Structure 1
């Protein structure tokens, strides 16, 4: 029996999967009942996805919209709760439809239990969706 990855290890592994455009592999890091929340989601965008299948449906076309080249700035902070981390990070690449640069800063609060993501609150910049061609993941 292998020891599950720590939350920080799991998160970094997930970033490597996203860079490889391995969305199914990234989704496999989720608990069947995991919840993905977007507290700053603009009107018309999902605020909460419940369950691995909802996360998979949401992320399925991610590489068709955003070609992420790197996560150059990733800082993971351990909280007083061992299962929960706070991540400050930046993703860079290009928006596929417009071939324009993509540069987004995120803060995420992630909880991992038994080696799987159970909660992920993604505090991304909603102002980015007001930029031309920025409909990069999927509005409702």
Structure 2
């Protein structure tokens, strides 16, 4: 992505890469010192990942746990800061371990500098996957 890529376009591209299970290319969209945060992470789960290397390690096995099929209901809101967006979306697919449906609603606050993600606060609901057989979240979410 060029440094002139609008944040909404960078974000849409990141979703395509997740659907393609191309985690390496997804991680390449991050700045070296990027921060990925999960403000609602339960005890024992990561609440903050600092740096591209930590984000890569965290996401490496994501496709082994969740088979994403689509991100319907995507709405991207521009903020007064041209490099910050607020995203509302739904991710749907299947949990690989159990075959159960995966359907999660997200709100994210995303900052981009020089065409790379620098901050991504992911407000997902851990209670939505807190069922027997869904302990994948400790290693991948």
Q: Which runs of no fewer than 5 residues in structure 1 stay unpaired?
A: none
Per the TM alignment, residue 132 of structure 1 is displaced from its structure 2 partner at its CA by: 2.2
In the other structure, the counterpart of 1:92 is 92
- 3-state DSSP of counterpart to 2:46: coil
Alignment of structure 1 residues 27-66 onto 2, 5 Å: 27-66=27-66
Misfit runs of 4+, over 6 Å: none
The one-character-per-residue Cα deviations of 1:89-125 (angstroms, maximum 9, x if unpaired) are: 0000000000110000000000000000000000001
Instruction: Look up the match of 2:107.
Output: 107
**What residue is the counterpart of 1:131 in the other structure?**
131
Provide closer, same or farther for how the CA distance between residues 25 and 98 of structure 1 changes in structure 2, counting only shifts above 3 A.
same
CA contact (8 A) 1:61 1:137 kept: no
Q: 1:2-17 maps to which residues of 2 (within 5 A)?
A: 2-17=2-17
Equivalents in 2 of 1:4, 1:63: separation in Å? 29
The TM-score, its normalising length taken from structure 2, stands at: 0.94
Distance 1:116 1:56 in 2: 14
Inter-partner Cα distance in structure 2 for 1:132 and 1:26: 29
Number of aligned positions between the proteins? 139
Q: TM-score, normalised by structure 1?
A: 0.95
Tell me, which stretches of 5 or more residues in structure 2 are unaligned? none
Q: Deviations over 1:45-70 (max 9, x none)?
A: 00000000000000000000000000
